[in-house]
Structure formats: C-alpha cells, structure tokens
C-alpha cells in the first residue's frame, strides 16, 4: 500500500441501531485512530438499517440510515455486515444473504447462533468468508476468541460458568439482603438489569442459548438450543439461599458443558457452590467462564456480561479481527463441527444434590424419607431439621449419585403423605466428596 494512497478503507453495513448499535458507531469513531494504527485500515460505518430512517438520531448522520437491506447487500463497497437486530427473523435471512454475497458477518445474536449456527458456520466456510460472534456470549469477555483460537490443542473437557447477568444479579441480591425472589426481580427491573418480561433470563433459556454456542465451539460439534437441558431460578427461594449459606454455600445459575467418555452433556441449572469457589465471588451482572482441559488445567475469564458499551466493545473487536485476517484462511473455513459427538444422557450424569423438604412435624418422618432414599441407593450426607409445626422442614445434602436414581427417589418422596410440598432439589458443585 503506497503511503500517498492513505490507509485501506473498510466499510461496514450495520443492521440495527439500538443501545449496542449506537455504541458500536461511537466506539469506532472514538477509537478510529487506534484502530487504524493497529490494523492499517480505516474502518467506518457506511449504511445503517433501521425501521424508521427518517427519525433523527444522535451521533450518526441522517443519510447513513436506510430501511432497505438491499442498500447494504448490493453495495460492493461494504465488506462487513454487523447484525445487531436480534431474534431469528429477519436476522437469519440478512446474515445468510451477506455470507452468500461474500461479505464477512459480525453478530451479537445468540438466538440466531444457538438455532442456526451450524448452518451459518458451514455457509461461511463454503463462501470462504468469516462469521464472528464474540458479543453473543458474556459481553466484553473474549471467550469465543479464546475458545476458537487459543484452545484448539488444549483438549478441553469442560466449559462452565455464569453466563447470565440478570439471574446473577437477582441471586446476588437475594444472598446479600435475604430478599425474596419476587422482590429481587423487581429491584433488578428497576435498575435495568432485568427486562419488563424477564422470562428468557429467569427460565435459563438465555443462558442455554449461550451454552449451546460455547459447547459447539469448545467441543467442535453441533449443539443447538434444544440440546440444552434447562432449569431456571424461579423455584429458588430465600429459604434455600439462607440454608445454603448456613452450610457454607452460595447459589448461582450455572451453565455446564462437559464431556463424559467423549460424549457431550450441556445443561443450565441453579447450583450450590462453596463460598470459596472462584465463581461464588462473581457478583451482580458480571459473568465468568471456566475452561478446563488436559493441557491447560483450568483457565477462568470474567468480566461484565452485558451493557451497551461492553457489548459494543466485543463487536468492535470482532470487526478488527475480521479486518486483521482479511485474505487469510480463518478457523471457520474448516468444519466447526468436525467432531460430531453424541450426547451423554442427563440420567447418567453423577451429581450431588441439596434438598429442602417441607414435612409434617411428627415422629418417624425422617425415617420414612431416609428409607425411600436408601431403596434407591441415594446416600444422605447431612440432614438439618428446621422449624416446627406447620413450618417443619428437612434440609438435606446428598453424596454424589446417578441422576436417574435421585430423580426416581424424589418422585417417590414427593408422593409421601408426610411431605407437604413438591420437592425441588438443587445441585451442589465442588463438594469435597466429588
């Protein structure tokens, strides 16, 4: 490149101009000098797709806006499409068309990737284009780049952590203040950490989408949203949190992707974690991901899981990675899902459990319950008797057990006359006997 011609110019077509989109725009402008020095390219947004182009918007000149995707797709000067509209439609059509036309794609869309990722990765490969999606998981934390580019030879065995900021904020509040779930949720909504309809977050579905993406990349196999077994935090009560604390645990919503005998198991569930576990101190809207593998022992990445500026930072770093790798084969020119692994059934996983059981306050109750667990070869590690009369409870912790056996025991326990409410066990991670 001759000095007189100036830096190479790279033009972006941006789809969507919400919080993240406008932050991407301003970050590219503020950091233009740094980015040009680091990559040798001047990167700018040429067109922005929005529903109402005529509405005046701060920070971007009105003539950039369009409501016609063809203005971006058909512009040969635009080499990168940044998709920030979310959801599967029309995002899927736009991303597919961009890749078909040889444009690189950067997206923050976890719904799209957890449902159509496998197809899109293959398409990018066929078209010798790039698709990057750092912002789809764990905000500003560069876990996707690390998994794709630094962990190829690490022989990963598990990827797990806290990948949903909303539920982590709620659980942190419940733990910190003793608040009930509904009150902590209301506070999260008040402070902007939870949406008006928080279903996707609290049900664990958001975390499940992210774990599907992480598992696909970490284990080189197709994992879709439907392959992730998912339990949310709706049934975690302030009593559970208080008892957990008494036992030396805190409660977190975990995403866990693990290999068992080379088969993969991916799940999202609330779990009790020892207070001194590094994930126990990940609080508020922060995220943290552990990578465990033969060659690396255990690496943790943590940081802000969301926020307009943080997510925009991840999008911009993807744009820079696309630019820095222009002309080179990318990791994803080769099949992502080359391992094509089988799934390991949830029933066969061995886990530890905690159980709070509302029971009748009468003699022989514990004996009756212990007998059922014994019949299913479920071994009780500890029992606390709590409350009296109408509030009598048993708080039990179990030794590791095959989940199918535990589930069978729990079903039978739930049918006992002396048990007054549906048993809702919570898994325990990192206990000494594991």
Q: Which sequence positions are flagged as catalytic?
A: 210
3-state helix, strand, coil in the chain (%, to 5): 40, 25, 35
Closest alpha carbon to 414 in 349, 368, 381 = 368
Of the candidates 18, 74, 87, 335, which one interacts with a copy of itself according to CB under 8 A?
Answer: 335
Any contact of residue 423 with a copy of itself (CB under 8 A)? no
Q: Which is nearer to a copy of itself, 230 or 306 (CB)?
A: 306
Q: Which is nearer to a copy of itself, 212 or 291 (CB)?
A: 291
Q: For the chain, give the number of residues.
A: 434
Report helix, strand or coil for 81: strand
Burial of 399 (0-12, 13-18, 19+ CB in 10 A): middle
| Helix axis angle, 110-126 to 91-100, nearest 10° | 20
Give me the least distance between CB of 80 and a copy of itself, in Å please: 15
H/E segment holding residue 272: strand 263-274
Give me the least distance between CB of 343 and a copy of itself, in Å please: 20
d(CA 331, CA 73): 24
Q: Which is nearer to a copy of itself, 215 or 369 (CB)?
A: 215
CA 101, distance to chain mean position in Å, is: 30
Per-residue contact string for residues 35-74; x = within reach of a copy of itself by CB under 8 A: x-xxxx----------------------------------
Of the candidates 46, 145, 376, 427, which one interacts with a copy of itself according to CB under 8 A?
Answer: 145
Any contact of residue 300 with a copy of itself (CB under 8 A)? yes
Q: Which is nearer to a copy of itself, 166 or 351 (CB)?
A: 166
CB atoms within 10 A of CB 70: 10
Detail the DSSP E strand segments found in 359-392: 380-386
Of the candidates 61, 63, 190, 338, which one interacts with a copy of itself according to CB under 8 A?
Answer: 338
Any contact of residue 150 with a copy of itself (CB under 8 A)? yes
Phi and psi torsions of 298, nearest 5°: -145, 120
Of the candidates 89, 93, 246, 298, which one interacts with a copy of itself according to CB under 8 A?
Answer: 298
User: Contacts for 185-190 with beta carbons within 8 Å, 24 or more apart?
Assistant: none
Give me the least distance between CB of 323 and a copy of itself, in Å please: 9
Could you tell me the CA-to-CA distances from 141 to 87, 110, 193, 309, 311 in Å, in that order? 22, 15, 18, 12, 9
Any contact of residue 299 with a copy of itself (CB under 8 A)? yes
d(CA 73, CA 71): 6
Any contact of residue 329 with a copy of itself (CB under 8 A)? yes
Any contact of residue 284 with a copy of itself (CB under 8 A)? no
CB atoms within 10 A of CB 150: 13
How does strand 263-274 pair with strand 380-386? unpaired
Q: Which is nearer to a copy of itself, 240 or 310 (CB)?
A: 310
Of the candidates 55, 182, 324, 422, which one interacts with a copy of itself according to CB under 8 A?
Answer: 324
Q: Which is nearer to a copy of itself, 134 or 206 (CB)?
A: 134
Give me the least distance between CB of 432 and a copy of itself, in Å please: 17
Applying CB under 8 A, which part among 168-176, 196-204, 208-216, 296-304 lies near a copy of itself? 296-304
Give the total of residues touching a copy of itself (CB under 8 A): 61
How does strand 65-66 pair with strand 41-49? parallel
Phi and psi torsions of 4, nearest 5°: -70, -25
Any contact of residue 176 with a copy of itself (CB under 8 A)? no
Give me the least distance between CB of 310 and a copy of itself, in Å please: 6
Any contact of residue 20 with a copy of itself (CB under 8 A)? no
CA 95, distance to chain mean position in Å, is: 21
Any contact of residue 222 with a copy of itself (CB under 8 A)? no
Any contact of residue 30 with a copy of itself (CB under 8 A)? yes
* Interaction site with a copy of itself (CB under 8 A): 27-28, 30-31, 34-35, 37-40, 134, 140-142, 145-146, 149-155, 220, 276, 278, 281, 293-304, 307, 309-310, 312-314, 316-317, 320-321, 324-331, 333-335, 338
């Amino acid at each position: 490149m001759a000095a007189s011609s100036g830096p190479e110019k790279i033009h972006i077509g941006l789809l969507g101009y919400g919080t993240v989109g406008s932050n991407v725009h301003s970050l590219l402008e503020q950091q233009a000098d740094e980015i040009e020095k680091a990559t040798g390219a001047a990167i700018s947004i040429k067109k922005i797709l929005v529903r109402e182009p005529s509405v005046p918007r701060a920070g971007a000149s009105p003539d950039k806006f369009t409501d016609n995707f063809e203005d971006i797709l058909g512009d040969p000067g635009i080499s990168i499409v940044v998709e920030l509209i979310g959801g599967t439609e029309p995002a899927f059509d736009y991303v597919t068309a961009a890749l078909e036309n040889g444009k690189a794609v950067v997206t923050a869309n976890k719904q799209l990737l957890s449902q159509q990722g496998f197809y899109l990765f293959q398409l990018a490969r066929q078209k010798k284009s790039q698709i990057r999606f750092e912002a789809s998981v764990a905000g500003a934390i560069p876990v996707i780049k690390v998994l794709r580019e630094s962990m190829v030879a690490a022989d990963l065995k598990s990827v797990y952590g806290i990948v949903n900021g909303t539920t982590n904020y709620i659980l942190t509040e419940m733990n910190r203040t003793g608040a009930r779930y509904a009150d902590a949720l209301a506070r999260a909504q008040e402070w902007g950490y939870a949406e008006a309809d928080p279903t996707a977050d609290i049900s664990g579905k958001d975390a499940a989408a992210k774990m599907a993406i992480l598992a696909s990349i970490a284990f080189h196999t197709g994992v879709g949203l439907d392959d992730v077994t998912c339990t949310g935090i709706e049934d975690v009560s302030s009593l559970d949190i208080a008892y957990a604390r008494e036992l030396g645990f805190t409660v977190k919503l975990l995403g866990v992707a693990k290999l068992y005998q080379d088969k993969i198991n991916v799940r999202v569930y609330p779990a009790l974690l020892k207070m001194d576990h590094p994930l126990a101190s990940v609080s508020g809207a922060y995220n943290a991901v552990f990578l465990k593998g033969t060659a690396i022992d255990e690496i943790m990445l943590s940081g802000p899981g969301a926020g307009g500026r943080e997510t925009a930072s991840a999008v911009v770093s993807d744009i820079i990675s696309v630019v820095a790798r222009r002309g080179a084969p990318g990791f994803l020119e080769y099949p992502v899902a080359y391992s094509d692994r089988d799934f390991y059934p949830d029933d066969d996983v061995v886990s530890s459990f905690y159980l709070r059981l509302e029971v009748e306050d009468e003699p022989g109750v514990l004996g009756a319950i212990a007998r059922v667990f014994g019949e299913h070869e479920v071994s009780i590690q500890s029992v606390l008797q709590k409350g009296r009369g109408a509030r009598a409870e048993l708080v039990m912790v179990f030794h590791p057990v095959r989940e199918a056996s535990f589930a069978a025991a729990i079903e039978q326990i739930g049918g006992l006359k002396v048990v007054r409410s549906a048993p809702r066990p919570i898994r325990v991670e990192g206990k000494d006997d594991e």
